[in-house]
């Protein structure tokens, strides 16, 4: 009887010890998670405080149009302040006027109300990229990528409609595309490649396919994987019906050898004051870079950053290249 009681006591002691160990493991895991979340929040706050915000040069007519649409978005939000849709549009309309920090604040308040809405992280992440807060952007897009897991994709309505008024992107393609871009801008091409491969899976129309392939090709070339990069171009046919990503389509023709880089450079060298020239310019500069023509590449990058397309991806990428080139 004494032996039985002794064994039971030992078993109870072991169970107690295991329970205590599990408790401490759980406690430590929670503590680590809280530290990580705190670190991300701190990084976001610090970057927002120090980030430069350059507003776009808008014509008087465009300025009036954007302000009118912002006022309309604000009125709709005030009628339905608990609507994630209204919050998103208020943030988007605010950002179009170059008030990127205000837009991020709007999205952040929206996330407090709707922490499981991937759209809010997607749009806030985009504006973190605009402000060069790449780590904060990555955190948002990674969160969004988890929230969309196992869910059907959805068309993302355009805030600045193209000529045909046909949306060309989706929520999931935008999340993966921008996650790849944020990693790319940091020079982390391996992680950028993983994200662009995911974007490729959900790039279902000509415009998204061209955009994703353009950045995917550049990423692979920066990784020295030239043969693999060339293979990605095979699915881009010469007769694609591209609505708004004509600049990326043109650069793919350069990659395929169907356009000469010198001819493209002649087209844009006179002016960097357009989104098109910043977009094509970065692709061209990057082409020079991984073909061993660093001086030519830096010449192009400096041309882009002397222009006024501060919020464009081509400008941000050229700026990032020049910073990384500094001793």
pLDDT tens for each residue of 98-153: 999 999 999 999 999 999 999 999 999 999 999 999 999 999 999 999 999 999 99
Question: What pLDDT score was predicted for residue 118?
Answer: 98
Bridge partners of 155, per DSSP, are: 170
- Find where tokens 């050898």 sit: 257
Between CA 172 and CA 148 the distance in angstroms is 7
Same domain, 245 and 267: no
Number of domains in the chain: 3
Question: What pLDDT score was predicted for residue 85?
Answer: 98
Q: Is the pLDDT of residue 96 over 80?
A: yes
Q: What angle do CA 206, 207, 208 make, to 5 degrees?
A: 95
**Which of residues 233, 257, 281 is at a domain's end?**
257
List own/partner pairs for 204-209 with CB under 8 A and 24 or more apart.
204/170, 204/173, 205/168, 206/240, 206/241, 206/242, 206/243, 207/168, 207/169, 207/242, 207/243, 207/244, 207/245, 208/168, 208/169, 208/170, 208/173, 208/177, 208/245, 209/235, 209/236, 209/240
Q: What pLDDT band is residue 266 in, cutting at 50, 70 and 90?
A: confident
160 found inside a domain? no
The stretch 220-229 carries a mean pLDDT of 97
Question: Residue 170 in 3-state DSSP?
Answer: strand
Question: What pLDDT score was predicted for residue 274?
Answer: 77
Q: What pLDDT band is residue 36 in, cutting at 50, 70 and 90?
A: very low
What percentage of residues in the chain have a pLDDT greater than 90? 77
The stretch 174-195 carries a mean pLDDT of 98
Q: What pLDDT band is residue 48 in, cutting at 50, 70 and 90?
A: confident
Question: What pLDDT score was predicted for residue 194?
Answer: 98
163 found inside a domain? no
233 found inside a domain? yes
What percentage of residues in the chain have a pLDDT greater than 70? 85
Q: Is the pLDDT of residue 180 over 50?
A: yes
Same domain, 142 and 234: yes
- Find where tokens 């993983």 sit: 194
Lowest-confidence pick of 30-39, 42-51, 198-207: 30-39
Q: What pLDDT band is residue 26 in, cutting at 50, 70 and 90?
A: low
Same domain, 141 and 222: yes
Same domain, 145 and 252: yes
Same domain, 276 and 321: yes
213 found inside a domain? yes
Q: Are 215 and 174 in contact (CB under 8 A)?
A: no
Same domain, 209 and 240: yes
Lowest-confidence pick of 9-18, 80-89, 144-153: 9-18
Same domain, 193 and 275: no
Question: Residue 149 in 3-state DSSP?
Answer: coil
Q: Is the pLDDT of residue 327 over 60?
A: yes
Q: Are 76 and 107 in contact (CB under 8 A)?
A: no
**Which of residues 257, 280, 299 is at a domain's end?**
257
**Which of residues 242, 257, 272 is at a domain's end?**
257
Question: What pLDDT score was predicted for residue 33?
Answer: 44
- Find where tokens 């990326």 sit: 248
Structure tokens at 50: 């120090």
Which residues form the domain of 244? Answer: 134-153+168-257
Averaged pLDDT of the chain: 89
Q: Is the pLDDT of residue 14 over 60?
A: no
Same domain, 292 and 216: no
Question: What pLDDT score was predicted for residue 163?
Answer: 86
88 found inside a domain? yes
Rounded to the nearest angstrom, the gap between the alpha carbon of residue 313 and the centroid of all alpha carbons in its chain is 9
Question: What pLDDT score was predicted for residue 57?
Answer: 93
Same domain, 193 and 172: yes
Same domain, 172 and 184: yes
The stretch 173-185 carries a mean pLDDT of 98
86 found inside a domain? yes
Question: What pLDDT score was predicted for residue 325?
Answer: 86
Question: What pLDDT score was predicted for residue 25?
Answer: 47
List own/partner pairs for 230-239 with CB under 8 A and 24 or more apart.
235/209, 236/209, 236/210
**Dmax (CA) of the chain:** 98
- CATH code of 226's domain: 1.25.40.10
Quote the pTM value. Answer: 0.86
Q: What pLDDT band is residue 51 in, cutting at 50, 70 and 90?
A: very high
């Amino acid at each position: 009887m004494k032996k039985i009681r002794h064994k039971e006591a030992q078993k109870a002691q072991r169970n107690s010890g295991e329970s205590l160990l599990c408790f401490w493991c759980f406690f430590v895991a929670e503590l680590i998670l809280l530290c990580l979340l705190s670190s991300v929040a701190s990084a976001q706050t610090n970057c927002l405080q120090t980030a430069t915000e350059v507003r776009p040069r808008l014509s008087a007519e465009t300025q009036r149009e954007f302000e009118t649409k912002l006022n309309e978005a604000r009125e709709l939000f005030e009628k339905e302040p608990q609507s994630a849709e209204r919050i998103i549009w208020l943030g988007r309309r605010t950002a179009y006027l170059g008030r990127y920090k205000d837009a991020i604040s709007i999205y952040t308040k929206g996330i407090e109300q709707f922490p499981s809405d991937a759209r809010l992280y997607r749009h806030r992440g985009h504006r973190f990229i605009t402000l060069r807060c790449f780590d904060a952007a990555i955190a948002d897009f990674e969160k969004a990528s988890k929230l969309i897991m196992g869910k059907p994709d959805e068309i993302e309505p355009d805030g600045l409609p193209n000529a045909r008024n046909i949306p060309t992107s989706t929520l999931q393609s935008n999340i993966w595309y921008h996650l790849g871009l944020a990693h790319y801008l940091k020079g982390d091409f391996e992680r950028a490649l993983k994200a662009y491969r995911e974007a490729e899976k959900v790039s279902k129309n000509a415009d998204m396919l061209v955009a994703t392939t353009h950045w995917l090709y550049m990423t692979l070339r920066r990784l020295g994987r030239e043969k693999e990069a060339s293979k990605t171009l095979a699915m881009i046919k010469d007769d694609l019906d591209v609505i708004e990503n004509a600049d990326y389509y043109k650069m793919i023709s350069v990659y395929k050898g169907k356009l000469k880089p010198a001819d493209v450079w002649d087209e844009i060298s006179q002016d960097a004051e357009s989104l098109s020239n910043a977009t094509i310019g970065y692709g061209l500069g990057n082409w020079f870079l991984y073909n061993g023509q660093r001086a030519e590449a830096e010449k192009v990058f400096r041309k882009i950053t002397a222009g006024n397309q501060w919020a464009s991806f081509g400008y941000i990428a050229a700026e990032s290249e020049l910073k990384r080139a500094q001793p």
